[in-house]
A and B are shown apart, each in its own frame.
Chain A
Amino acid sequence: MNAKNIIYLYPRFERFWHWAQTLLILALLVTGFEIHGTYALLGFETAFTVHNFCAWAWLILYIFIVFWMVTTGEWRHYIPTFRKLYDVSCYYAYGMFRGELHPVPKSVRIKHNPLQRLTYLGIVSALVPFQMITGFFYYYYNSWPQLGLNWTLGTMGFLHMAGAFAFLIFLVVHLYMITTGPTVMAHTRAMFTGWEEVEDVQACEWEDKTQKKETGAALKA
């Protein structure tokens, strides 16, 4: 085992938007499935009002998040890569059962492993906008004729619901994945404090081409 290090990984705003989005996703899922007719909990009207409020709140938050990503350069953490993707997949598929080390440990430079990068990029650039756009059209159904649109509400409902299921599935997997840190609560705690415990800071140099072999050797050793 390598020496343990604690690094400051998630600045204040990042933690804020993470938890704000957590609450929004939960609220939108709970109210959304009620609007869908899956169950009765708050009453349709309250569910609708809350859902609508959360949707607008998220749009505003989203604008701030994008601004933050762009101005701080944090967007670099979401550049998709396939390198080590296979290794990471293998690690979660069986490596971790054998007590292997994570092929892409977290570091200040590399907050997310390739699997996370692809997932988060997909969510932030595809799923969230998709839900916002379909939700927006869903809500402004009455204005479709003025916009020259000849869709049916059923289609929009279908798309918005498909997005909702994608979010729910993400939530299930995400909630599990955050328990796979050094301890069950480690990642969750880090998202509150900003400080993440990493096993080996050096091992993060995986992305650097010149150090690739070296790192690979170190990992195997």
Chain B
Amino acid sequence: MNIQGNEARCTSCHAGYGWKDDTFDFSSERNIDCLVCHDQTGTYEKFPTGAGHPVSEPKKFMGKTYKPPDWNKVAQSVGRPTRDNCGTCHFYGGGGDGVKHGDLDSSLLSPDEQLDVHMDAEGPDFTCIRCHTTKAHKIAGRCYKKPAAKELKSLIEDDLIERITCVSCHTDKPHKPGDKANDHTDKVACQSCHIPAYARQLPTKMWWDWSEAGRMKDGKPYAEHGPFGKHSYHTKKGEFVWAKNVVPEYFWFNGGLEYTLLTDKIDPEKPVKLNRVMGSRDDSRSRIYPFKVHKGKQPYDSKRNTMAALHLFSPKEETAYWGSYDWQKAITAGMEYVGLEYGGEFGFVETVYHFPITHMVAPKENRISCEECHNREGRLANLAGFYMPGRDHHEGLDMVGWIGVVLSLIAVILHGVFRKIAGKKTQR
């Protein structure tokens, strides 16, 4: 789903505050909201549809009343960002707790040791900025790159600054001397073993089917609750599947993610990878890295075979999907807004999005056991191109070997039987 055309809503997190229309200057520092990161009263709250602004007088949204901040208190409280500051947006990406990332949700506001050894509120109590270091407000690790590697690469140029990775503190030989695990760090990211599962306390959204959106009950939008007390259906957004304690999928990852753009051609017969994990077995900078694979169905331009921009939210406009529940209108308006041609017909295509998993590092005794991967049907069963003990074997050798063993067994058994029979004869 696109931000463009829906800024008033999305910018309550994304890109600061004050968005009015497409003349908004995204590069201006004056448009960046200081308080959302630096307020320490915990009372500074943006209004969900206020383009990043808090309310000036009490206002209700979805049953919750938003009060205007006490500006004096807020201003006097400013300090280094805490987990609450970062979490306000990052734990709720995609419109709710744990929707986007499987390893970032409100359980990390005050986690215990089991959930995150570093952020453990009773222990080291790391804040986000302990690892996501900053230099003149440039925050390291938007997509927390290659934590097990020496060379670091970034997603956007602004990220090209020093950052703390696992190896920064733990070195690339973090285990006891002679421990075989140290021999893994050249190919396996720390996260792969030390994050046994994500969404360990709160569920995360795994499936989001937009094609089911728009159903009405008694002519009105409605919502249904499923497992974990989470929405399994919402007229506005479609069908959801939530999951807890999810085992990640693993890919070779060099820290780069490549994105499918609105102008890129897609193949609607296959699930569309909205982002692709960069890296390979042969790349010395790639590691085997855990991912949350978020799947769903989204609208696409079925004439031009591109993903479709959608006008989703607008307080006033008729064309917004959350007003009219008319896909055609919403897509037409969305494509027009981003200045792209629309073929005039739409369909729904299955989509796949990869979220790197790097938070929720478990205590060392909870790391996954060797056979989770060193196994014929283990976690890495789908990674090809290399030989891994326990997973791989040479079919031909195994066959010849076992035939040899069985033949020798048959031979000695037959020999023994003959001996027995012959022994009885000679005794007679």
Contacts and interface: CB of A to CB of B under 8 A. Distances in A.
Interface of A: 35-37, 40, 43-45, 48, 92, 96-99, 141-142, 152-154, 157-158, 161-162, 164-165, 168-169, 172-173, 175-176, 179-180
Nearest to A46: B370
B393 A36 contact: yes
Contact of B374 (A35, A98, A141, A172): A35
Contacts of B135: none
Q: Rank and list the top 6 A-B pairs by shortest CB-CB distance, nearest first.
A: A165-B401, A97-B422, A154-B387, A176-B412, A44-B371, A99-B426
B183 A36 contact: no
Chain B contact residues, majority secondary structure:
helix
Nearest to A159: B397
Contact of A37 (B374, B386, B404, B405): B374
A27 to B, nearest CB: 17
Chain A contact residues, majority secondary structure:
helix
A142 B183 contact: yes
B408 interface: yes
Contacts of A99: 422, 426
Interface string B381-424: 00000111111111001101110110011011001101101100
A13 B393 CA distance: 38
B422 A172 contact: no
A45 B409 contact: no
A126 to B, nearest CB: 17
A142 B185 CA distance: 10
Contacts of B416: 176, 179
Contacts of A40: 371, 375
Contacts of B215: none
Interface string B297-321: 0000000000000000000000000
Given A141-B183, A168-B401, 16 more contacts: A35-B389, A36-B389, A36-B393, A37-B374, A37-B376, A44-B374, A44-B375, A44-B390, A48-B370, A153-B389, A161-B393, A161-B398, A165-B400, A165-B404, A168-B405, A169-B404
A158 B397 contact: yes
B33 interface: no
Contacts of B426: 98-99
Contacts of A152: 387
Interface of B: 180, 183, 186, 369-371, 374-376, 386-394, 397-398, 400-402, 404-405, 408-409, 411-412, 415-416, 418-419, 421-422, 426
Contacts of B404: 165, 169
A43 B394 CA distance: 21
Contacts of A92: 415
B390 to A, nearest CB: 4
B415 A37 contact: no
Contact of A162 (B390, B397, B419): B397
B422 A154 contact: no
A35 B375 CA distance: 9
Contacts of B411: 173
A31 to B, nearest CB: 12
Contacts of A180: 419
Contacts of A97: 418-419, 421-422
Nearest to B421: A97
Contacts of B389: 35-37, 153, 157
B422 A44 contact: no
Contacts of A43: 369-371
Contacts of B371: 40, 43-45
A165 B422 contact: no
B415 to A, nearest CB: 7
A172 B401 CA distance: 13
B412 A153 contact: no
Nearest to B388: A153
B369 A157 contact: no
Most A-side CB within 10 Å, residue of B371, B397, B418 = B371
A218 B45 CA distance: 108
A122 B279 CA distance: 46
Contact of A154 (B392, B409, B418, B419): B392
B405 A165 contact: yes
A168 B403 CA distance: 12
Given A141-B183, A161-B397, A165-B404, A37 B422 contact: no
20 contacts: A36-B390, A37-B392, A43-B371, A44-B371, A45-B370, A48-B370, A97-B418, A97-B421, A142-B183, A142-B186, A152-B387, A154-B387, A162-B397, A165-B397, A165-B400, A165-B402, A168-B401, A172-B405, A172-B409, A172-B412
Most A-side CB within 10 Å, residue of B369, B374, B416, B418 = B374
Contacts of A173: 408, 411-412
